[in-house]
A and B are shown apart, each in its own frame.
Chain A
Amino acid sequence: MNVLIMGCGRVGARVATTLDEAGHTVTVMDLNPSSFRRLPPSFKGTQAVGNGMDGPALERAGIKEADAFIALTQGDNRNYFASQLAREVYGVKQVLCRTYDPLRAEIFSGLGLQIFSPTALGASVIVSMLLGDQAAKG
């Protein structure tokens, strides 16, 4: 699978590394070249400096060949914008968008993207660790 990841923070670098090790074709984009230090020396994928909200930058990073796009910057709005750009303008089939704000996550999830909210996920994990799985569900 050809995957384009926007944002080489801790999560982005880890996702990129895992997919790369599993034999997928990975490109990681970040505005800041120093973010790529988080990738291990063994990383075989491509590093692209650029803004994922910018069409031409996405094209340079190979969006047209991508089977999947993952938005992992710190900004919910930036992630949503870039994700819709990938889906609506470049026709990427699978688009994952990190959204910290659970309210926004709820709204975005009906709009053609796969949304995951670390805030909601984290909260439910914490509650289930504390009270056990049953209590978390109830």
Chain B
Amino acid sequence: MYIIVAGGGKVGFHLAEELLNANHEVLVIERDPARARAITEELTDAVMSGDSCEATTLDLAGVARADLVAAVTGDDEDNLVICEIARNRGVPRTIARINNPKNELLFKRRGIETTISATQAILGQIEQKLPTHEMIPLLQLHSGLELVEVRLPETAPVAGRSVRDVLLPPESLIALIVDPGGVPRIPSGETRLNAGDVLVVVTRNESMGKLREALIGAIHGLDT
């Protein structure tokens, strides 16, 4: 079978590995060029850099002769659109990863097969109570203080800056930094913040919005 995997994150990468081992013809399409290069080292010529939501990208990938398209990006709206384009091009079978379990019904109505990863299902449940998953309240401390986990996205305004240069809301403190490799550090003023770092921050309840603004920037996906 010829299988196109849209999205080269962890899910897409491991899926492609398994499919290649099972002797299928596989092409992973990854939007982020750096990530595409990284997985090319493992998957060699089974990787293409491009945006799967563009019909031209899928056409270049030979979507018309694909037996299956698996849309496994981290965004449900992108996965929906990828499956719709694939079907428009005559692909007989499309499978979408859904990141938010609430979206399952819509995919079902559109006649698209879905799969939820366990991690994402749990995250989705937590997310229902949260604005976005970049900031997760961990613990209410006494006297109006709160412990929060903040994951720095690529677009974080503080990425590349040192802790002393970050303007936090009053009575807020970065208590711990866990780098993408999982190594925890207690930050000093010189410690540099990087995208992908997870910070554990103490802040006041009423400063959550300002903390988000300082560390993550404006909420993504805004309409202007």
Contact = CB atoms under 8 A, between A and B. Distances in A.
A111 B224 contact: no
Contact of A81 (B54, B77, B105): B77
Contacts of B30: none
A73 interface: yes
A17 interface: no
Interface in B27-75: 53-56, 75
A74 interface: yes
Interface stretch (B5-13, B187-195, B215-223): B215-223
A78 to B, nearest CB: 5
Contacts of A73: 221, 223
A138 to B, nearest CB: 26
B81 A32 contact: no
A107 B85 contact: yes
B223 A103 contact: no
A72 B109 CA distance: 23
A127 to B, nearest CB: 22
Please report whether the interface of chain B is mostly helix, strand, loop or mixed according to DSSP: helix
A27 interface: no
Contacts of A81: 76-77, 80-81, 106
A8 B110 contact: no
Chain B contact-residue range equals 20 to 34
A84 B56 CA distance: 23
Contacts of A51: 221
B102 interface: yes
Interface string A73-85: 1111110110011
Interface string A35-61: 100000000000000010111100000
Given A81-B76, A107-B84, A111-B84, A74 B110 contact: no
B78 interface: yes
B97 to A, nearest CB: 14
A31 B219 contact: yes
Given A80-B77, A104-B81, A108-B84, A54 B102 contact: yes
Nearest to A107: B88
Contact of A74 (B55, B219, B223): B223
